[in-house]
């Protein structure tokens, strides 16, 4: 009987941790941009292009 109580306590603890993590992610705005990924995938002008400055600094660091 004590094993059932221990497992029940462990499962409730894990479930509450997942609930707290989900609530934190919603509060911090992780789910605000619902359509952004689909727009970036469909339209080419929304893709992020690497800047020339980053490319030149990476090439200089390799030499």
**Mean pLDDT rounded to a whole number for the chain:** 79
pLDDT tops 60 at residue 58: no
What is the domain range of residue 16?
2-62
pTM over 0.75: no
pLDDT at 39: 74
CA distance 41 to 30: 19
Name the residue with tokens 């980053």. Answer: 54
- Residue 9 CA: distances (Å) to CA of 17, 51, 55: 12, 52, 53
Report the domain count for the chain: 1
- The pLDDT tens digits for 23-50 are 999 999 888 877 777 777 777 665 555 5
């Amino acid at each position: 009987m004590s094993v059932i109580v221990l497992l029940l306590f462990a499962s409730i603890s894990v479930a509450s941790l997942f609930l707290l993590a989900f609530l934190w992610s919603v509060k911090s705005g992780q789910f605000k941009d619902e359509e952004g990924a689909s727009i970036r995938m469909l339209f080419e002008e929304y893709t992020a292009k690497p800047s020339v400055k980053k490319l030149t600094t990476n090439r200089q660091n390799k030499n």
